């Protein structure tokens, strides 16, 4: 019905225009809500190409996809790299004795692996995912193809650059080179993490909108403006569960917002390249949400002639440490890695060796990696809020988000200083809050609880649950009332307070 109305209006407008004098150019605006937001990884090749174990043809990964921890043997191989582990211990972790006697054997094995894989440093008691530099590089298959989507971000054409599908030279997309063979990101919109992130976005986790405006013609305008940013309004779907067209969304202008100059030619929108391009970032949990912040970022969009949809690329240099943390600490590193069959230590080293932007003169190394994200969009009315707004916060998830940010900062500090960091409170790293409970019925429970180290926190209960897990489960005891004390004269009180100092947290 909407398409029919649009065509009817367009036909009437053409008829009127034919009878009247040519109209002068007038301001115009087009809006879109993003329906798919994913890394621009290519996948596939010749239709006649096939390889055992690949569900689709893929000539860009000659060494196959990364499938870490997919079975007992691959887990055993990862654990055997730690020389401080006893070979018998490695065998028992990979295939836990008595597993068939527990009520949830697969889940129990999953979390035994999680606990063990979370401590793979050069010595025990160094948490792997917060300190990936302390573990040996397991190796990550990397893209070998020359074809890749993205932008020429540095204005150069180098031998190592990709060639765009349209033949464009000098394409910079080293994130694809580093992570393009990682199984959960490897796909053409159908990879597991692409699907998860887009489903969560469409179900209301966050909303990204784009507004384009100009004064000539929506399909050809050499003085247009593109705005990209966060909307507090949830995506609306139609009866077929597709993103509905022509609904209204507000666009907010604090962080996660950028305004760019652009030129449009035959429906292709090309923006300027700006020093910082802010937009919402890919996420499938609230703690990951936030500002993307592309350095030297830009957009290229292709508008459908009927105005109902658009596709495009969003790109620039991302801080590779941020990318590592956003992917690893969605839940905890071991859980994410075992479930998705990716090793974040391998991904860390792949990011580090492929970093190619944001040169840091202090370290003489690159802090950024070139990247491009694909966008698919549906038409929408993108409007300003009645009054200025900040990005809303999900109160029930604030503590989890704070733990995510603290873990990310600890990781960055450790990576930069090469000094192992403790895991901040509030996380589930190493299966904190679940592993001990799953081991209750395992005959070899005592062996694993004694053998598998994990960091402990103040306030743990008899099950080993730290306070934030107790709070989530509703088992956190109420705080004891503090008896009132008589007030002292101010000078005496100040003197007494000076005797106390905060002690550093001890594991």
Structure tokens at 327: 């992917």
- Which stretches within 131-227 are classed as H helix? 174-179, 192-202
pLDDT at 357: 96
219 contacts 353 by C-beta, under 8 angstroms: no
pLDDT at 504: 35
- CA pair distance 199, 285, nearest whole angstrom: 11
Q: Residue 498 forms beta bridges with which residues?
A: none
Q: Write down the residue that tokens 């209960």 correspond to.
A: 461
Domain locations along the chain: 26-46+140-392, 74-138+407-451
Going from the C-alpha of 25 to that of each of 125, 160, 307, the distances in angstroms are 68, 45, 18
pLDDT at 53: 54
127 contacts 118 by C-beta, under 8 angstroms: yes
How would you write the pLDDT of the chain (507 residues) with one tens digit per residue?
444 444 444 444 444 444 444 445 799 999 999 999 999 998 766 556 555 555 555 678 888 788 899 999 999 999 999 999 999 999 999 999 999 999 999 999 999 999 999 999 999 999 999 999 999 999 999 999 899 999 999 999 999 999 999 999 999 999 999 999 998 998 777 889 999 999 999 999 999 999 999 999 999 999 999 999 999 999 999 999 999 999 999 999 999 999 999 999 999 999 999 999 999 999 999 999 999 999 999 999 999 999 999 999 999 999 999 999 999 998 899 999 999 999 999 999 999 999 999 999 999 999 999 999 999 999 999 999 999 999 999 999 999 999 999 999 999 999 999 999 999 999 999 999 899 999 999 999 999 999 999 999 999 998 889 999 999 888 888 777 767 666 655 554 444 333 333 333 333
- CA pair distance 153, 147, nearest whole angstrom: 16
Length of the chain: 507
Structure tokens at 473: 């489960």
pLDDT at 380: 98
Helices (H) and strands (E) in the chain, counts: 14, 11
Give 368's contacts (C-beta < 8 A, 6+ positions apart).
295, 317, 318, 319, 320, 355, 356, 357, 358
Structure tokens at 77: 């191989």
pLDDT at 443: 94
For residue 136, count CB atoms less than 10 angstroms from its CB and return exposed for 0-12, middle for 13-18, buried for 19 or more.
middle
For 391, other C-beta atoms within 10 Å of its C-beta total 18
């Amino acid at each position: 019905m909407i398409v029919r109305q649009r065509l009817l209006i367009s036909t009437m407008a053409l008829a009127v225009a034919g009878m009247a004098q040519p109209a002068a150019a007038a301001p115009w605006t087009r809006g879109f809500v993003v329906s798919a937001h994913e890394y621009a990884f290519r996948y596939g090749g010749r239709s006649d190409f096939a390889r055992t174990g690949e569900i689709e043809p893929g000539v860009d990964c000659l060494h196959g996809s990364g499938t870490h921890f997919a079975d007992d043997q691959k887990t055993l191989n990862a654990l055997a790299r730690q020389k401080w582990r006893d070979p018998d211990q490695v065998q028992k972790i990979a295939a836990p004795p008595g597993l068939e006697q527990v009520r949830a054997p697969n889940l129990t094995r999953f979390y035994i692996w999680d606990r063990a894989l979370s401590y793979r440093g050069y010595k025990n008691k160094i948490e792997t995912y917060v300190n990936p530099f302390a573990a040996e590089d397991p190796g990550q298959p990397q893209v070998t193809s020359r074809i890749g989507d993205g932008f020429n971000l540095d204005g150069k054409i180098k031998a190592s650059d990709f060639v765009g599908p349209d033949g464009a030279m000098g394409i910079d997309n080293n994130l694809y080179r580093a992570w393009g063979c990682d199984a959960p990101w490897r796909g053409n919109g159908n990879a597991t993490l692409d699907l998860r992130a887009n489903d969560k976005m469409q179900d209301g986790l966050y909303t990204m909108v784009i507004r384009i405006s100009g004064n000539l013609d929506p399909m050809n305008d050499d003085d247009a403006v593109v705005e990209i940013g966060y909307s507090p309004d949830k995506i609306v779907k139609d009866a077929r569960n597709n993103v509905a067209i022509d609904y209204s969304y507000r666009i907010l202008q604090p962080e996660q917002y950028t305004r760019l100059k652009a030129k449009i030619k035959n429906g292709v929108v090309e923006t300027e390249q700006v020093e910082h391009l802010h937009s919402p970032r890919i996420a499938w949990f609230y703690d990951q949400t936030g500002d993307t912040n592309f350095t030297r970022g830009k957009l290229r969009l292709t508008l459908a002639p009927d105005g109902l949809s658009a596709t495009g690329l969003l790109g620039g240099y991302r801080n590779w440490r941020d990318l590592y943390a956003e992917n690893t600490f969605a839940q905890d590193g071991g859980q994410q890695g075992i479930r998705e069959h990716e090793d974040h230590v391998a991904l860390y080293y792949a990011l580090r060796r492929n970093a190619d932007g944001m040169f840091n003169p202090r370290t003489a190394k690159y802090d950024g990696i070139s990247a491009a994200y694909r966008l698919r969009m549906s038409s929408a009315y993108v409007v300003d809020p009645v009054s200025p707004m900040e990005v809303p916060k999900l109160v029930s998830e604030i503590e989890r988000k704070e733990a995510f940010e603290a873990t990310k900062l600890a990781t960055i500090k450790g990576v930069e200083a090469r000094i192992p960091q403790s895991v901040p409170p509030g996380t589930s790293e190493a299966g904190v809050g679940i592993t001990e409970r799953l081991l209750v019925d395992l005959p070899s429970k005592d062996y694993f609880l004694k053998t598998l180290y994990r960091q402990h926190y103040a306030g743990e209960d008899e099950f080993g649950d730290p306070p934030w897990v107790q709070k989530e489960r509703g088992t956190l005891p109420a705080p004891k009332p503090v008896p009132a004390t008589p007030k002292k004269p101010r000078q005496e009180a100040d003197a007494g307070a000076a005797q106390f100092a905060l002690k550093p947290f001890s594991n």
